[in-house]
Chains A and B, each alone.
Chain A
Amino acid sequence: QVQLVQSGAEMKKPGSSVKVSCKASGDTFKGYTVSWVRQAPGQGLEWMGRVIAVLGMPEYAEMFQGRVTITADESTETAYMELRSLTSDDTAMYFCARGSTSGWLVDYWGQGTLVTVSS
C-alpha cells in the first residue's frame, strides 16, 4: 500500500518560512516526479512546482519563482517544499503528488498539510 505521508500542520508568522515534507511509504520516488499543489480555504487547486526525484531538477510556477524551493532526498524517499516570505495569502492546504515521468498519470497524493499564516 503506497502512501505519501506529509508533515503536520504549521502556524507561521508573516515574513517567516515554512518547510513541508512528503515521505513515500511502501514505494519510492525514484523514476517519478513530485509536484506540490496548494488550496486556499474554499478555493481551487493551484500548482506550485515539481521536481524529478532522481534528477533533482525543480521547475516552479511563475508566481512562486524566487520564493519556493522544492527538493527530493532519494536516501530518505522524502520530498520537501519550502516557501519563504509568508503572508496571510499563503494560508492554505498544501498537497504533494507523485507523477509519472513518462506520462501524465498522478497516482498518489499526500493527505495535505495545513499552513496558517497569522500575526
Chain B
Amino acid sequence: NFLLTQPHSVSESPGKTLTIPCTRSSGNIDSSFVQWYQQRPGGSPTTVIYEYHQRPSGVPDRFSGSIDSSSNSASLTISGLRTEDEADYYCQSSYGSHWVFGGGTKVTVL
C-alpha cells in the first residue's frame, strides 16, 4: 500500500496558472494511473483528469495532468484560473483495483 500526499491548500489570482502536486510515498508513480477529481462546496466529485493526462469530454483544456518520475509525483495544472475553479481537488491512484485518494487540496482563486 502507499500514500498520496497533496498540499492542504493553494491560492492564486484569476487568470494565472496553478499546479497541484500529488506525491506517491512508495512504488513508482507510473505503475498505476492517476486521476484527478474536482469537488465544489456542497457538490459531488467530478472527474477532471483520468489516466494521468486524459480529459473527459466537457472538461476545458485549461485543465491538464502530468507525472514526474524524478519526484515520484503527479500534477494537476489549471491555467487561466477562474473563480469557478474554486474547489477541492483530489488525486487518486490504485493498487490492483483498490483506489487510494490523496488528502485533497483546497484551491482558492483570490
Chain A: CB-nearest residue to B44: A109
Chain A: CB-nearest residue to B100: A47
Interface size class of A (residues with CB under 8 A): 20 to 34
Interface on chain B toward A: helix, strand, loop, or mixed SS? Answer: strand
Complex contacts, B46 vs chain A, CB 8 Å: 109
Interface on chain A toward B: helix, strand, loop, or mixed SS? Answer: strand
**A-facing residues in B53-110 (Cβ within 8 Å):** 54, 56, 90, 92, 94, 96-104
Is A2 on the interface with B (CB-CB < 8 A)? no
How many interface residues does B have (CB within 8 Å)?
A: 24
The reply to whether B44 and A59 form a contact with Cβ atoms under 8 Å apart is no
Per a CB cutoff under 8 Å, which of B45, B50, B92, B94 touches A109?
A: B45
Is B51 on the interface with A (CB-CB < 8 A)? yes
Complex contacts, A106 vs chain B, CB 8 Å: 35, 37, 47, 50
Residues of B that sit less than 8 Å from A by CB: 33, 35, 37, 39, 44-47, 50-51, 54, 56, 90, 92, 94, 96-104
Residues of A that sit less than 8 Å from B by CB: 35, 37, 44-47, 50, 59, 61, 95, 97, 103-107, 109-112
